[in-house]
Chains A and B, each alone.
Chain A
Amino acid sequence: MSQLPPIEPDLNQAAADATRAADTTDAQSNLELKEIEGLSQSRIVLRRFLRHRGAMISAGILLAIVVLAFSSEGIDALGLKIPGWWHYNYGQIADVTNGGVPSWRHPFGEDSLGRDMFAVVMRGAQQSLMIVFIVGIISLVIGVVIGAASGFFRGWIDTILMRFTDIVLVIPLIVLTATLGRNFGARGSLILAIVLGLASWTALARLVRGDFLSLREREFVDAARVAGAGPWRIMMVHILPNAIGVIIVNTTLLMSATILTESAVSFLGFGVQFPDVSLGSVIGQYQAAFQTRPWLFFWPAAFIVIISLTINFIGDGLRDAFDPRQKRALNKAARKAASASREKARAAASQNVSEQTAQ
């Protein structure tokens, strides 16, 4: 019993601890508030995103890949032809030197036909990137329109649109994309991209619908309606800006999933068709050569992984930026201040205890 400190000072200490804790959280939130004082919501989001180190590094790498892929091989789409700086074309056949082992002349090696792998991989990356972006845009448009209409109008419009979404959703994505690819893949990768976009909007539509369903019940929508705004204006001006976080984040994640779907479908031979190449079809073509000539296999795979990984990290950064509950964006100064004050409190507490036991 004698070792226990008396009750009275203990209570005091608890009270003191409580105020200190309150001080700490105040200090944190004050610092946070000062950071974003007088900024608009979009500026705050942008700021949080620019501070997200993983997302910024990823954005840089992705941009570098886009520039590299499109400048090296040039652009050859829709009748537009701009030559690139790389001295081989992806369809061009040269003599196979030294079994196609990577060299200065062919940094990624050559395949058995004598095609330069760097050119092939760059062309594949171009195609895959283009498909990813087109699928992203098409899914964004269709998903937002269908989700917004069914969430906002509810009733029979909602029922019809959601059953329609179910029809697309019940067909496994890889089955739908492979079948569509088998139908349209031979007409070029642009058509393929559009068709894939028509197949992958379902998840986005459901999320947007959920968001619209909850947002339309909010007071500011009632206020707008009382002020005489029509449904179009309410959707575009009042609800959509509030749902933009969900939309952007999920479109990004959809794009990173698309590159995997596209490459899987092309790998199986139902996507981008010879003589054109995508990263997946290159891997599918050379998977047997894996043991003997791994460079035919590793470079396209590395590009798929890097593109998908960077888009995923960008999506993660966007999520952190849009979601105000995320505390990870707490800046360094605030964190340091918080931990310092915690340390101080702990030191004071232990001092108190030792004083008490000494008494």
Chain B
Amino acid sequence: MNLLVFTKRVPATQEEELRIVDDGKAVDLSKVPFKVNDWDNYAVEEAVQIAEKTGGTVTAISIGDKESDEVLRRAIAMGAKDGFLIEKEEILHDPGVRAALVNNFLKKEGIAYDAIFTGVQSEDDQFAAVGGILAAKLGIPYASMVIGIDAVEKDHLIARRELEGGLQERVKITSPCVLAIQSGINEPRYVSIMGIRKASKVERKTYKGADYSENANNSIEVVRWVYPPKKGAATMLTGELDEVCKQLLGVLKEKGVYQ
């Protein structure tokens, strides 16, 4: 089975203080480190495992600036054969534009595949949309929140989708198809610096986004960025560590969960 897998380079914002600049026109990410989108790490691992089992190859795809090449090299270090970078300098927030670019790319370059994997969502954009839009444009079936692939047959897959509250559903889906892979589906392998260095030696072509931009127009736009509305204010426990911990125990006693 030949698989295409999306991998995106995203800012690691979890521990960063984010500042909105330019009158709300931009979020300052200049000091934020970048990394592979967590969900895509699981998607690449799943693709590589299936290719190892069934024979076939994995090719990674990324849309972004030159720096995005680093997540493609990472995918190659994990077992992908090649990585396509569809180069775009500006950030594309509209998932419809990203899906349209890849749709055009796959058709124009005549790329064959049995399945396409994406992550469930981008950590930054959080749309959970690119895979589904692409599937519809390609005219192939789609399943999201895939937390298990229970069978890979010649013409179909059996996928387990995560629903709410611990419930899952099993679906049969014909290939080619697009699956959005949920975190936790596997244990992504460790990637060493050596492995990435070796992957850098793989010779690859890059592709200019402009060549695949037909009908890839924004259908939505960000008017500006804002800080989320403040909800309630937590009472902050402050002081020396010892004091803070004693206050914390005081709260637990007051709430009756600790004597």
Is B truly associated with A? no
A residues whose Cβ falls under 8 Å from a Cβ of B: none
B residues whose Cβ falls under 8 Å from a Cβ of A: none
